[in-house]
Structure 1
């Protein structure tokens, strides 16, 4: 099932992909500014409407990083900007419980077992722990950072709703660039204002699964607790964010410096 575009607010860069936004403009703790027009985050990019194509092509995107699983990519392939490199960079085990979300919610018995009676929030907290610890996530987010640091720009990275896998990717990049936690969290929570496509899609899945909306709703929004869980899990596993970068992601100091040189004024 595709995600139907509902947002028409002129304030959105791409109304048919409402969570498409430029990370430029963020200030770092040492007073530098993230350049605009280099680094974009987004929700699903198969939804780009014909009337949005001129704007989409006009962003000068040269890399599109698709963080979805093969289930999602095969079902709903991206609209790739002309001249852009496309890279499938998975950050989630495609065979893990809950990874094939549409199929799981289409089965009422499985959906109730997985998400019923308040289990959806616990599921989301586990998702965020996995995003900073699973092998697929470590490999995928290292690839994302290296591509942002060294590959052609502008770059856009995305998943389906642009809030969880993309949300952690944005939090990682902004933290590497020196943006403080409060601003990182603020950027993370902006996704809640841009979920009209996801709400439409998820309400249909909720109906198919026979789960009440309140059981599904924690998976349709981001909460500060989700991001806090990821950062806390980093501290538990690695001791600090810097050690996560060096020992978990295995990013070199040179790559981090190249990212900062490229992205910051």
Structure 2
């Protein structure tokens, strides 16, 4: 077997290890050297935040250790909230990341209200909208009404949480959503593609799911991938609290805490998506290959590019 084929087979095995199922086609390939059990212990890596004034949830996806003893490379993939409020200093900082692609998961209504990304010269965002099941419009309507009864009827009594779980399920069930996520994975795997950033409005749900999928695909332990997802609560907490305080002070919401289930990420929401994966595809590997349509070569290229 050639060295190139051995590298490919090894990367495929690493991908399989990450998703808990070994594809039959790769079962005869030589296994990578055993990694001592002690090295499987997931250390609490420091998340590399990109500090900006106009965005609070900008992070490098790299730095995580994998089950195979590797580490996700930094400086290749970034996750973010919307970039429409970047200051000139922020734009200079973003320019220093060397981005060659920015993917915007927001729907047209979000762009209408929040504005287009402000990016370094020569860099234009690629629109790749992922459905929010009308959540943004519902939220705008609820706040604009300034009617506490209507707001309670729309968001109270566990309805906001249920709405979020439904959104997460559509990350898995919607063919259109799956196509958008798959296209982003393929770009991350492309060796000719330079540093990539993807984002939605808050950088926590659509962006959070995309990041979870990428990290799991790279053999990062599920606990660490979930930790990266949940970290949005830390990075967004102060900003979201200011938003709630402003809505109360302006009189638009008597009980802005109704928004907390929409502002936060929760393990329960992530579980809704992963349970849908089990129901529809049987395993995370099935979701990658049958749901997202990613072949083994793409998964191997992703490993080869992003793990050292």
Q: Which residue of 1 is the match for residue 27 of structure 2?
A: none
**Aligned: 1:216 with 2:268:** no
Residue of structure 2 in register with 1:69 after alignment = 107
Q: What is aligned with 1:54?
A: 92
Q: Does 1:89 align with 2:132?
A: no
Partner of 2:42: none
Q: Distance in 2 between matches of 1:81 and 1:153?
A: 15
The equivalent residue for 2:225 is: 184
Measure, in 1, the Cα distance between the counterparts of 2:131 and 2:67: 31
Task: Please name the residue that 2:295 is paired with.
Answer: 252
State the SS of the aligned residue for 2:118: coil
Structure 2 partner of 1:148: 188
Change (3 A) 1:74 1:215: closer
Q: Could you tell me the TM-score, scaled by structure 2's length?
A: 0.76
Q: Contact between 2:105 and 2:206, CA under 8 Å: does it hold in 1?
A: yes
Q: Which ranges of structure 2 fall in alignment gaps of 5 or more residues?
A: 1-48
Cα distance change on mapping 1:245 and 1:165 into 2, 3 Å: same
User: Aligned partners of 2:187 and 2:138: how far apart in 1?
Assistant: 27
Aligned to 2:64: 26
Q: Give every structure 1 segment of 4 or more consecutive aligned residues whose post-TM-superposition deviation is greater than 6 Å.
A: none
Residue deviations 1:130-149, cap 9 Å, x none?
A: 11211221111111111212
**Matches for 1:136-175 after TM superposition, within 5 Å:** 136-150=176-190, 152-175=193-216
In the other structure, the counterpart of 2:119 is: 80
Cα shift readout 1:98-117 (whole Å, capped 9, x = no counterpart): 24255333234764433122
SS of residue paired to 2:65: coil
- Cross-structure match for 2:277: 234
CA distance in 1, matches of 2:195, 2:124: 11
**Cα distance, 1:50 vs. partner?**
2.1
For residues 150 and 188 of structure 2, what CA distance do their matches in structure 1 show? 38
1:117 and 2:157 matched = yes
Q: What is the root-mean-square deviation of aligned Cα atoms in Å?
A: 2.1
2:11 is aligned to none
1:130 to 1:253, Cα distance in 2 relative to 1, 3 A: same
**Whole-angstrom CA distance in 2 between matches of 1:80 and 1:51:** 11
**What does residue 8 of structure 1 align with?**
none
CA contact (8 A) 1:64 1:80 kept: no
Residue pair 1:21, 1:41 contacting (<8 A) in 2 also: yes
State the shift of 1:14 in Å.
Answer: 2.0
Q: CA deviation at 1:242?
A: 0.6
* Separation in 1, partners of 2:229, 2:156: 26
Deviation at 1:259, TM superposition (A): 1.4
Does the 8 Å CA contact 1:61/1:81 hold for their aligned counterparts? Answer: no
CA distance in 1, matches of 2:209, 2:193: 22
TM-score normalised over the length of structure 1: 0.87
Quote the Cα distance in structure 1 between the aligned partners of 2:277 and 2:251: 36
Native 8 Å contact 1:118 1:215 kept in 2: no
Q: Secondary structure at the match of 2:226?
A: helix
Structure 1 stretches lacking a partner, 5+ long? 1-10
Structure 2 residue matching 1:100: 3-state secondary structure: helix
Comparing 177-186 and 141-150, the one that deviates more: 141-150
1:6 aligned residue = none
> Does structure 2 retain, via aligned residues, the 8 Å contact 1:38–1:263?
yes
